[in-house]
Amino acid sequence: MKNNIEEYMKRIDDVILSHLDGGHVSGTITEAGRYSIKSGGKRFRPYLLFAALDAFSTPLERGLKTAGAIEMIHTYSLIHDDLPAMDDDDLRRGNPTNHKVYGEAAAILAGDNLLTEAFQLIAGDEQLDPATRLEVIRIISNSAGHNGMIGGQMLDIEAENREISFEELEKIHKYKTGRLISAPVHTALVIAGAENHTASHLLSFSEYLGIIFQIRDDILDVTGDVKVTGKNTGSDARKDKVTYVSTFGLEGAKERMEQKVSLAEAELDAVSGTIDVTELKNVLNRFAIRDY
């Protein structure tokens, strides 16, 4: 019997929210954290983690808290990213950003808290033996820290309002968004106990996925409908950000995205004889190609 991913996608919010509800010192911290978790998002990273576990017929229960922790880290990064000192955004997923509702101080602390509690969630995950939990913590902190997301965010901020090369742009994406998109696949491989050859193809797949995701984001910033994406369009252009679209034009960006989709599919095809990549192909369809 195959895993039911939809069921686990419904449980992701519960896992995170019930963990946040365990905070009994400051109601504001709990509430501000809940607000950003509940304000939606596609839960792309949890879905990807579940799809990767499914490929190995590993029970999704074993990845539930890891998926929740990665989503918490993703959410903290959005809260901090939206702050006036960073991207200064008022709207996120169609709702006022965290600091617009709770103030800057609470938003900074709520972000800090989601990051801190993400590690608490994994450390207490009884579904995984201690060595596996540690490896998961290692992968996630590596993906989120100076050699991952934070490194990329800093590069991104320093690239604003100046000319950057395409190589620089790719480096920013690789770290800023790419590493935390690889993390669900990487942690799933550890949880599932994947052997090296398969793991290496799926990691390459996840790296292409990160690039695809970013190109799509750049495209949606131009073509997207605020009612669907929940984001104001044109914000990259207003900030003079170099994007795939500003570099290659809309058609050029789409072309590049399709090239990467083919490469990602080829990685899945390379292992489709040993594992069932159906759900991972669905990820590509559901999150990467769809052009809303």
C-alpha distance from residue 124 to each of 65, 117, 144, 187, 268 (Å)? 9, 10, 20, 16, 33
Query: Strand 95-96 relative to strand 91-92: parallel, antiparallel, unpaired?
Result: antiparallel
Query: Which positions from 2 through 61 interact with a second copy, judged by CB under 8 A?
Result: 20, 22-26, 28-30, 33
Name residue 96's beta-bridge partners. Answer: 91
193 in contact with a second copy (CB under 8 A) = no
Residue 5 CB, shortest distance to a second copy, in Å, is: 28
Residue whose tokens read 């579940």: 50
Residue 148 backbone phi and psi in degrees, to 5: -145, -130
What 3-state class would DSSP assign to 280?
Answer: helix
Q: Measured between alpha carbons, how far is 208 from 169 in angstroms, rounded to an integer?
A: 15
The two three-digit tokens of residue 6, written as one number: 């939809």
Give the contact letters, 86-125, x = binds to a second copy (CB under 8 A), - = no. Answer: x----------------xxxx-xx-xxx-xxx-xx--xx-
Residue 26 CB, shortest distance to a second copy, in Å, is: 4
Complex with a second copy: residue 148 or 224, whichever CB lies closer? 148
Give the contact letters, 66-85, x = binds to a second copy (CB under 8 A), - = no. Answer: ----------x---x--x-x
Write out the residues near a second copy by the rule CB under 8 A: 20, 22-26, 28-30, 33, 76, 80, 83, 85-86, 103-106, 108-109, 111-113, 115-117, 119-120, 123-124, 130-131, 133-134, 137-138, 141-142, 144-148, 150-155, 157-158, 171, 175
